[in-house]
Amino acid sequence: METIQPYTPKEIMTIMAAREIKNGDIVFSGTGISMLAAMAAKNINAPESVIFFETGAIDSLLEELPFAVADPRIMYWAASNSRLTDSFATMQNKITGDKVIAILGAAQIDKYGNLNTTCIGDYFSPEIRFSGSGGGCDVASFVPRCIAFMQHEKRKFVKKLDYLTSPGQLEGKNSRKKAGLRPGGVSVVVTNMGVMRFDKDTGKMYLDKFYPGITPEKILENTEFNMDISTATRADPPTQTELKILREDCDPQRLILG
Amino acid sequence: MTNSLNKVIPLKQAIEQYVKNGSHISIGGFTINRNPMAAVYEIIRQKINNLHLYAHSNGTGLDELIGAGCVSKLEIAYGGNGKAAPTCIRFAQAIQNNEILFEDYSNYMMSLRFMAGAMGLPFLPTLSGLGTEILTKWGFSRSMRKSDPKIVDEKLIVIDNPFGNWTGASKVVLVPAINPDITIIHVQKADAMGTCSIQGLSFADIEQVKASKQVIVTCEKLVDKEELRQNPDLNQIPFIHVSAVCHVPLGAYPTAVFGHYDYDSRYLRKFAMAAKNPDEFKKYQDKYIYGVKDHKGFLNVVGQKRIDAIKADPRTGYAVNMKRD
């Protein structure tokens, strides 16, 4: 029987992602829960982190939560409002790019952390078509660290992607290097059940942390591929301070937390 | 593209003159921001079809054009429209029902392709996309590419870094230039010659304009040349790139224009709901697009109440505390 936790799945996911962000990081963010994680990090553990959008706005004030990366709310009081060619260059350029941590979502992920945001079914005649890469493929190609936010379900943690939109460790081992990519891609996966990382040598996903009330076995049941759970430990749940800041300072109207 | 002192013409005439069946076209803006919607609705009213659309992340304009059947070929990075439609609905349906030919890129690839076009280069290199299916899955077949002189023979090409390992890159992806027949953007300020001042993010508008053979600018404010020449640092587009200027206040509605008005989340949601059902979508189009003469007529149907609700606050540039559904 599961015990009732004093926080919601969205809250623990947000805090787990926020803990990945270090002081001084440039956080490439989308909207929704990924931006909330960036805001939580800034308010809790990384006061000098900077939020950055692919549309070209950097360090926006965000007096109101934006609902899109082209929302006029990100243009107010930014350090600069530039353009797409600039924002991606900032990530492709190693001098700034190495400081970037990205937060991405996807419809499917495989054991090497490759992401599909394009379609379910055949590419040319899909059952479901999604929005496509946007800047996802660019970021996952350029920057050393990416957090993938996912709901932990078998149909999302798949043996084979229907389309490889954004590169993780490709086929594992040194295949990223062989393809010509820098080290990088998805380095951590945060779900509603736990936190996964990737083995340095094989590039394969392993379970690092499982949330209170969740077992490693339950995570395996919701994952189509095999995953090493032997070193997994229970995650430290969100602290009262973390939850207070998240609820009161980051999303007081619960626009994203629900 | 002229140096004429006065390029101001009505929008209807500009679309008739520059957008033809089969034109290769790009539109400015990004998802729910600064799409040239008045021009998009005019294209739909004029029933222009068989367009080849180049898009990075055009949202509202893209979905209206596809929904109206104006687009037959699409090169795209992202088809989403904010909270109302995380995936653009008519875009997804058109692909799922095999109604258009499409080819996927990333946002940086599409932006660089416009930049290459603007620079007069055949291609630019990037480190994006190596090892992904964006490189290997071609939406346009090799034979189709060969038979159409307006479509480049290869989608993307990977080469070894010709400078050895310089800067640490072993390989680069070459993205081919785009030079659209026509690009349409909506800006805050333009003068009669076509010089433009964009406030807020410019997305890829500048590259798109400079890559294009013809350019239509629609503007919130048509200002005197003197006003723009006093602050040339704030002007991103000089008149030499522009073919026609159309004064269309609220010309990006229902998308946002920083400093002027917000996106209308209620309208965008209504559009998304209608887009899911063919009968509802036809009713929507009849009411808001085909049933009106021009953008003024469209705004009359929308009503002053919505226009007032999205008015931007002068301090922040957006509608503070606007109810967003």
Section B114-133 average pLDDT: 98
Residues A198/A189, Cβ–Cβ less than 8 Å: no
The answer to whether the Cβ–Cβ distance between B78 and A132 falls below 8 Å is: yes
pLDDT at B1: 57
* % residues pLDDT > 70 (chain A): 98
The answer to whether the Cβ–Cβ distance between A138 and B133 falls below 8 Å is: no
pLDDT level of residue A1 (50, 70, 90 thresholds): very low
Q: Which of A53, A205, A26, A33 is nearest to A114 (CA)?
A: A205
Q: How far, in Å, are A25, A31, A63, A78, A249 from residue A40 at the CA level? A: 13, 13, 14, 19, 8
- Which residues span the domain enclosing A71? 9-250
Q: Is residue A154 part of a domain?
A: yes
pLDDT at B2: 66
How big, in percent rounded to 5, are the helix, strand and coil portions of chain B?
A: 35, 20, 40
Q: Domains for chain B: give ranges and CATH numbers.
A: 11-122+179-309 (3.40.1080.10), 124-176 (3.30.30.40)
pLDDT at B70: 98
- Please say whether the dihedral angle defined by the alpha carbons of residues A75, A77, A80 and A86, taken in this order, is positive or negative: negative
pLDDT in tens, B287-301: 999 999 999 999 999
Residues A21/A49, Cβ–Cβ less than 8 Å: yes
Q: How far apart are CA A48 and CA A99, in angstroms?
A: 12
Q: How far, in Å, are A121, B150, B310 from residue B141 at the CA level? A: 20, 14, 45
pLDDT at A113: 98
- Position A163 pLDDT exceeds 50: yes
- Tell me if chain A has a CB within 8 Å of the CB of B56: yes
Q: B4: burial class by Cβ within 10 Å (0-12, 13-18, 19+)?
A: middle
Section A108-122 average pLDDT: 98
Neighbour tally for A63: CB within 10 Å: 12
Section B297-320 average pLDDT: 97
pLDDT at A185: 96
The answer to whether the Cβ–Cβ distance between B168 and A94 falls below 8 Å is: yes
Q: Is residue A3 part of a domain?
A: no
- Tell me if chain B has a CB within 8 Å of the CB of A56: yes
CA contacts within 13 A on the Cβ side of A47 = 1
Amino acid sitting at position A85? T
- Tell me if chain B has a CB within 8 Å of the CB of A57: yes
Residues A9/A237, Cβ–Cβ less than 8 Å: no
The string of DSSP letters for B35-68 reads --HHHHHHHHHTT--SEEEEESSB-HHHHHHHHT
Q: Where are the alpha helices (DSSP H) in chain A?
A: 9-20, 33-44, 84-92, 94-97, 136-142, 175-179, 216-221, 240-245
Q: Is residue A1 part of a domain?
A: no
Q: Which of B250, B76, B205 is nearest to A56 (CA)?
A: B205
pLDDT at B61: 98
Q: Is residue A255 part of a domain?
A: no
Contacts 24+ apart (CB under 8 A), A7-12: A7/A237, A7/A238, A7/A243, A8/A257, A8/A258, A9/A192, A10/A192, A10/A256, A10/A257, A10/A258, A11/A238, A11/A243, A11/A246, A11/A247, A11/A257, A12/A192, A12/A211, A12/A235, A12/A237, A12/A238
Q: Is residue A66 part of a domain?
A: yes
The answer to whether the Cβ–Cβ distance between B30 and A69 falls below 8 Å is: yes
Among A29-33, A252-256, B279-283, the range with the most confident prediction by mean pLDDT is B279-283
Residues 92-151 of A with CB under 8 A from B: 92, 94, 118-119, 123-138, 141-142
Q: Is residue A86 part of a domain?
A: yes
Q: Which of A1, A44, A14 is nearest to A258 (CA)?
A: A14
A194 forms bridges with which residues in the sheet? A210
pLDDT at B97: 97
- Tell me if chain B has a CB within 8 Å of the CB of A191: no
Longest dimension (CA), chain A: 52
pLDDT level of residue A255 (50, 70, 90 thresholds): confident
Helix, coil or strand: residue B218 = strand
Q: How far apart are CA B52 and CA B140, in angstroms?
A: 12
pTM: 0.97
Q: Which of B242, B234, B197, B188 is nearest to B215 (CA)?
A: B242
Q: How far apart are CA B269 and CA B275, in angstroms?
A: 10
Q: Is residue A235 part of a domain?
A: yes
Q: B213: burial class by Cβ within 10 Å (0-12, 13-18, 19+)?
A: middle
- Position B41 pLDDT exceeds 50: yes
Distance from the Cα of residue B231 to its chain's centroid = 26
Q: Which of A78, B160, A114 is nearest to A86 (CA)?
A: A78
* % residues pLDDT > 70 (chain B): 99
The number of distinct structural domains making up chain A is: 1
pLDDT in tens, A172-201: 999 999 999 999 999 999 999 999 999 999
- Position A154 pLDDT exceeds 90: yes
Q: How far apart are CA A175 and CA B72, in angstroms?
A: 37
Amino acid sitting at position B78? Y
CATH number at residue A65: 3.40.1080.10
pLDDT top residue among B104 and B5:
B104
Q: Is residue A258 part of a domain?
A: no
- Tell me if chain B has a CB within 8 Å of the CB of A9: no
Predicted complex ipTM: 0.96
Interface test with B, best of A53, A84, A142 (most B CBs within 10 A): A84
Residues sharing a CB contact under 8 Å with residue B233, sequence separation 6 or more, in sequence order: none
- Find tokens 């460790």 and name the residue: A169
CA contacts within 13 A on the Cβ side of A29 = 33
Q: How far apart are CA B205 and CA B37, in angstroms?
A: 15
- Find tokens 């269309």 and name the residue: B248
pLDDT level of residue B4 (50, 70, 90 thresholds): confident
Section B14-33 average pLDDT: 98
Catalytic residues of A: 54
Residues 200-259 of B with CB under 8 A from A: 200-207, 256, 258
Residues B66/B27, Cβ–Cβ less than 8 Å: no
pLDDT in tens, B146-171: 999 999 999 999 999 999 999 999 99
Q: How far apart are CA B67 and CA A226, in angstroms?
A: 42
- Position B51 pLDDT exceeds 70: yes
pLDDT in tens, A51-103: 999 999 999 998 888 989 999 999 999 999 999 999 999 999 999 999 999 99
Amino acid sitting at position B252? A
